[in-house]
Structure 1
């Protein structure tokens, strides 16, 4: 159990059986977590984001793409002081107003990957403000994909190249 307390990088991409309850337990037990990839974990929602915001204060990078996170969860993450890099492609519960509020709330954010469909929905003055404060916005016009790892899981060992 002690090794889990020191966990810094976790990729559970494409795991349909991982739930918010499971990720919440990880947040509570793995407080050194700095990099988290939960892309295509469809059963992860705002409840887990609230736990991450409370217990994973070392989180610097997260990929939420295809999760069931809404404005509420994204705003909770935006309150984290160390969060620098976030990917939010294809979040069904994300609205332009929620995204705008989260972008304004993030203090240390330096890189955000967003779906291009949001660009015309956000005020240009907001985008200029965010970029003027050192955040690089990457716009992706990526089609929604539902394919998953046939086994439903993927293990990633070793140090992530983007890990701090």
Structure 2
């Protein structure tokens, strides 16, 4: 089947890992796939998607059953991936970031807000992904101020867009923020309460 774009209906609860296996088997040329809020999907389902070598855009927002294991499968298999949305994938941790840092070398846009990543994972990611231009990282509760500082310094000069909590504006080094902006990075500060939604 020559399907290039697949948008699963919003908050569809009927898509399972078996459905993803069928999709991956029948739609090898798919480029854009939106699975946001399809909360029955697990790491096993993402393993099936790893065969989609032409996939460029993948939205996995609020898939609460996936972990770094599933993200590793995606990173290793989907070599063409340019955009990845992992917002509110609460169980995605550093293992997923390390895999992205090693294999997802074409990644340009990434959302990891609310993920369980640490400063070490974030720093490794931002120092490794040379194509990354846009990252959204709101409510990374496991990342310290020093972790943010090191990660952002590692990516300075490459980032064009950055989304973070406004509370960081007063605690991050003014010199770092000036350096980011001087290098052409547009920082979007947001004021969002920490609320863990039941996806």
Shorter-chain TM-score bucket reads 0.7 to 0.9
Which of the numbers 47, 60, 71 marks the counterpart of 2:119? Answer: 71
Question: Could you tell me which residue of structure 2 aligns to residue 81 of structure 1?
Answer: 130
Question: Could you tell me which residue of structure 2 aligns to residue 158 of structure 1?
Answer: none
* Runs of 4+ that moved beyond 3 A: none
Distance 2:66 2:72 in 1: 10
Distance 2:55 2:136 in 1: 21
Which entry has the higher C-alpha Rg, 1 or 2? 2
Kindly report which structure 2 residues correspond to 1:7-46, keeping only aligned pairs within 5 A, or say none.
7-46=55-94
TM-score of the superposed pair, with normalisation by structure 2: 0.72
Question: Unpaired runs of 5+ in structure 1?
Answer: 150-164
Q: Deviations over 1:19-77 (max 9, x none)?
A: 11011001000011100000000110001100001000000000100000111121122
Question: Could you tell me which residue of structure 2 aligns to residue 139 of structure 1?
Answer: 189
Distance 2:159 2:198 in 1: 29
TM-score of the superposed pair, with normalisation by structure 1: 0.87
Distance 2:96 2:112 in 1: 11
Question: Unpaired runs of 5+ in structure 2?
Answer: 1-23, 30-51
Aligned residues: 149
- Which gives a bigger RCO, structure 1 or 2 (Cα 8 Å, sep 6+)? 1
